Amino acid sequence: MYLCLFACGAFVQGAFAQGDSTAQEAAEAPAPDAESAAAEAAEAEVVPEAPIYSSRALRDMSLVAQATPSDQVLWWPEGESQVLALYNRAISAEPVGAVLFVQDQDLHAIRPQRLQQLRLALPAFGWTTLMVTLPPPDAVPVPVREAPEPATAAVDTAATAEAPRPETEEVFDDTSGEVASVDELNTPQEPAAPTPAIPAKSASEMTDTRLAQAIRHLHDNGQFNVVLVVEGAGAVRAARLVAQMGFEGFRALVLLDARNQLQGEAGDLLAVIAKLSVPMLDLYEDRHIADERDVATRLVTAKRAGHENYVSLQMPVYEPSQERVIKRVRGFLDAHAKGVKVDNAQVIDAP
């Protein structure tokens, strides 16, 4: 027992001795240099890399261009940026016309499955296809609500704002090491003039510009037999294009689950149906609550206008290959909109 106590005491004494030596070494160690520590911290700080794309829209268009054969990719300048267009020439010695696609809202060039399948299928039957990326609709602004008046008595804010600062308030500027003048602090400062913001273009303006550029590209390549194929709310945007170009600028109109209105953008599709005398094919799947209502309204408008070549047809709700839609659209275009390509053609405006 005495032997055990002696051994434990020796162990405790050794531990205390070791602890004292460790503390002494720590006290004698030189303090780290503050400048070197700051330099090491600066080196350890990771500097974020600059973004590859200037905007999300440009990123999406670039990824779509990478997934598309290079001979179908067109880049059009738009201010300081670019816009992607997909141009697929007809695979035929005797081309019959061109199809301009207008996709639905919030979709890019290859996301609409039906338009993508049509864009790739129609060139084998003599149709040149073109689709330009369109911007999403503008966000609907939130209505401004007036704040209710407070129930308590109003405070004289003018008198409060003009009250001088107390002399006991600290006016020492620790950033410059100088003491500011109390008189200067009490003098009201004029607010700096705000920098005028550059007004951003609306979605309607960008859409109209891009579609007009698409039409010019087709005309520059000798394609004047142009057909419009639109999907969803893109029908409202196509209606503006038809109204701007004139109702005789197109040979046929194909609607796919079209919408008669697009919130935040102008465009009267019913007025186009009433005035446009070209053949029209109205295909719908009847999977949305607005399909039956909008289709019925368009059918009534076409009958009142006396259209003889207005066809309204319901299609299967889901068909991954889109074979029936392709056959319906191709058959309709071959029957009502076939033409020939005119080389070195010129547009002569009417006097």
User: E strands of the chain, at which residues?
Assistant: 73-78, 81-88, 97-102, 127-132, 172-173, 178-179, 226-231, 252-256, 280-284, 310-314
Tokens read off for 224? 């004047």
Among 218, 267, 279, which residue's Cα sits nearest to residue 243? Answer: 267
Spatial distance between the Cα atoms of 129 and 230, rounded to a whole number of angstroms: 13
Do the Cβ atoms of 216 and 241 come closer than 8 Å? no
Domain extents for the chain? 56-135+203-336
Spatial distance between the Cα atoms of 237 and 203, rounded to a whole number of angstroms: 10
Q: Map tokens 């067109």 to a residue.
A: 74
Spatial distance between the Cα atoms of 75 and 81, rounded to a whole number of angstroms: 10
Spatial distance between the Cα atoms of 169 and 182, rounded to a whole number of angstroms: 9
CA angle 100/241/75 to nearest 5° reads 50
Spatial distance between the Cα atoms of 312 and 273, rounded to a whole number of angstroms: 13
180: left (phi over 0), alpha (psi -120 to 50) or beta: beta
Do the Cβ atoms of 9 and 1 come closer than 8 Å? no
Query: Looking at domain 56-135+203-336, which CATH architecture does it have?
Result: 3-Layer(aba) Sandwich (3.40)
Half-sphere exposure of 119 (CA within 13 A, CB side): 23
Tokens read off for 162? 């003009």
Do the Cβ atoms of 95 and 341 come closer than 8 Å? yes
pTM, full prediction: 0.70
What string of pLDDT tens digits covers the 351 residues of the chain? 444 444 444 444 454 444 445 445 444 545 556 566 666 665 666 666 767 777 788 888 888 899 899 999 999 998 888 999 999 999 988 899 999 999 988 776 667 688 999 999 999 999 999 999 998 888 777 777 887 777 665 555 555 555 555 555 556 666 666 766 666 666 666 766 666 555 578 888 999 999 999 999 999 999 999 999 999 999 999 999 998 888 778 999 999 999 998 888 888 999 999 998 899 999 998 887 888 899 999 999 999 999 989 999 998 877 778 889 999 999 999 999 987 544 555 544 433
Amino acid at 147: A
Spatial distance between the Cα atoms of 280 and 268, rounded to a whole number of angstroms: 16
- DSSP one-letter string for 267-331: --HHHHHHH--S-EEEEE---SHHHHHHHHHHHHHHHHHT-SSEEEEE--S--TT-HHHHHHHHH
- For residue 251, the 8-state DSSP code is S
Spatial distance between the Cα atoms of 138 and 142, rounded to a whole number of angstroms: 12
